[in-house]
Structure 1
Amino acid sequence: MDSLTVYSAPWCGHCHRLKAALTRADIPFVEVDVDRTPGAVEIITEIGGGSWLIPTVVLPDGSGLVNPGVQEIRERLAQP
Structure 2
Amino acid sequence: MSSYEATPGKPTMFTTSWCGYCARLKGQLKRSGIEWDEVDIESHPDAADVVAAVNGGNQTVPTLLFSDGSSMTNPSASQVERKLAELR
Identify the TM-score tier after normalising by the shorter chain: over 0.9
Alignment of 1:20 with 2:27, yes or no, is yes
Counterparts of residues 1-80 of structure 1 (less than 5 Å):
1-2=6-7, 3-80=10-87
Which residue identity is paired with 2:55? G
Across the aligned residues of Structure 1 and Structure 2, the Cα RMSD in angstroms comes to 1.1
CA distance, structure 2, for counterparts of residue 63 and residue 49 of structure 1: 14
Alpha-carbon offset, residue 63 of structure 1: 0.8
CA distance, structure 1, for counterparts of residue 11 and residue 20 of structure 2: 19
After TM superposition, the score normalised by the length of structure 2 is 0.84
CA distance, structure 2, for counterparts of residue 37 and residue 50 of structure 1: 17
Which residue identity is paired with 2:67? P
Alignment-derived partner of residue 3 in structure 2: none
Which secondary structure state, in structure 2, belongs to the residue aligned with residue 68 of structure 1? Answer: coil
CA distance, structure 1, for counterparts of residue 22 and residue 14 of structure 2: 8
Uncovered stretches (5+) of structure 2, i.e. residues with no partner? 1-5
Across the two proteins, how many residue pairs are aligned to each other?
A: 80
Uncovered stretches (5+) of structure 1, i.e. residues with no partner? none
